[in-house]
């Protein structure tokens, strides 16, 4: 059951992002909480008489899932996962793969895949606290894929399943030395080259302290 919840959390985190444009920004904590609540609601659909509650929160969901006694533990678990999600920015600020900076799609994906494997091992050994910590970290990286790449700008409205599927390639990433953006000033808003969008090429942002290569990326 916990592994199923893990997979649902990873898939739903993109939809918890709401695949929205500007003006409706959400924090990592918001996205994480929403993803876990929605994933849990999906699992509880197998419970006889289950109806998705409104509003959707730990108390109403635990009641609908007939797990009232676990409400406090459920809330504590979400807070712990959210904490380690945010902590990723402090512990791995300059490590590009944790944020999909600089076209690190392969390294970021490998980080997520390994994280899922490690979490599954922790769950099988009943090391649930360790599993929550790792889930927080990989959810951060997964969420950064959608905010730091042009996945949404390419018109995608569904999660990138390649991020959690070892056998699926990242779709149409930028080629080595391919120019993907133009930024002659400090304000780089809307700087992705027109052909990148037209050809549905996936690219990502660059962290400010590093020089921007011309799409230097390997797959």
pLDDT tens track for 171-191? 999 886 788 888 766 666 678
Confidence (pLDDT) at 13:
55
Number of domains, the chain: 1
Q: How confident is the model at residue 26 (pLDDT cuts 50, 70, 90)?
A: confident
Give yes or no for residue 32 having a pLDDT over 60. Answer: yes
Q: What is the pTM of this model?
A: 0.84
Confidence (pLDDT) at 192:
86
185 falls within a domain: no
Q: What is the mean pLDDT of residues 211-218?
A: 49
134 falls within a domain: yes
Residue 107 CA, distance from chain mean position: 14
Give yes or no for residue 28 having a pLDDT over 50. Answer: yes
Give yes or no for residue 218 having a pLDDT over 70. Answer: no
Q: What is the mean pLDDT of residues 160-179?
A: 90
Domain span at residue 108 reads: 2-163
Confidence (pLDDT) at 177:
75
151 falls within a domain: yes
Rounded distance between C-alpha atoms, residue 81 and residue 2, angstroms: 14
Task: Taking the CA atoms of 43, 49, 53 and 59 in sequence, report the sign of the dihedral they define.
Answer: negative
182 falls within a domain: no
Question: What proportion of the chain, given as a percentage, has pLDDT over 70?
Answer: 80
Q: What is the mean pLDDT of residues 105-120?
A: 95
Q: What is the mean pLDDT of residues 195-199?
A: 93
The candidate with the shortest Cα–Cα distance to 108, out of 122, 96, 125, 94, is 96
DSSP string, the chain: -HHHHHHHHHHHHHHHTTT--TT----HHHHHHHHHHHHHHHHGGGSTT----SS--HHHHHHHTT-GGGHHHHHHHHHHHHHHHHHHHHHSTT-GGGTTGGG-HHHHHHHHHHHHHHHHHHHHTT-HHHHHHHHHHHHHHHHHHHHHBSTTTTT--S--GGGT-TTSPPSSBPPTT---B--SSS--TT-B-HHHHHTT-B-B---TTSPPPSS----
106 falls within a domain: yes
Confidence (pLDDT) at 216:
44
Confidence (pLDDT) at 217:
42
Residue range 52-91, pLDDT digits in tens:
999 999 999 999 999 999 999 999 999 999 999 999 999 9
Confidence (pLDDT) at 181:
83
Give yes or no for residue 210 having a pLDDT over 70. Answer: no
Confidence (pLDDT) at 21:
43
199 falls within a domain: no
The candidate with the shortest Cα–Cα distance to 168, out of 88, 104, 109, is 109
The candidate with the shortest Cα–Cα distance to 141, out of 169, 172, 114, 167, is 114
Confidence (pLDDT) at 176:
67
190 falls within a domain: no
């Amino acid at each position: 059951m916990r592994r199923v919840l893990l997979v649902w959390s990873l898939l739903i985190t993109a939809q918890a992002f709401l695949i929205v444009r500007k003006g409706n920004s959400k924090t990592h904590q918001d996205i994480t909480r929403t993803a876990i609540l929605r994933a849990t609601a999906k699992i509880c659909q197998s419970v006889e008489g289950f109806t998705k509650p409104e509003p959707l929160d730990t108390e109403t969901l635990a009641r609908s899932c007939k797990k009232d006694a676990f409400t406090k533990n459920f809330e504590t678990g979400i807070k712990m996962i959210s904490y380690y999600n945010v902590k990723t920015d402090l512990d791995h600020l300059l490590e590009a793969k944790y944020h999909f900076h600089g076209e690190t799609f392969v390294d970021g994906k490998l980080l997520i895949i390994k994280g899922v494997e490690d979490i599954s091992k922790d769950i099988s050994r009943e090391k649930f606290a360790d599993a929550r910590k790792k889930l927080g970290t990989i959810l951060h990286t997964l969420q950064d894929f959608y905010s730091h790449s042009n996945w949404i700008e390419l018109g995608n409205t569904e999660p990138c399943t390649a991020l959690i599927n070892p056998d699926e390639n990242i779709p149409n990433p930028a080629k080595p030395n391919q120019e993907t953006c133009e930024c002659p000033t400090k304000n780089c808003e809307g700087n992705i080259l027109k052909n990148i969008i037209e050809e549905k090429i996936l690219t990502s942002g660059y962290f400010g302290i590093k020089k921007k290569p011309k799409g230097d990326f390997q797959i």
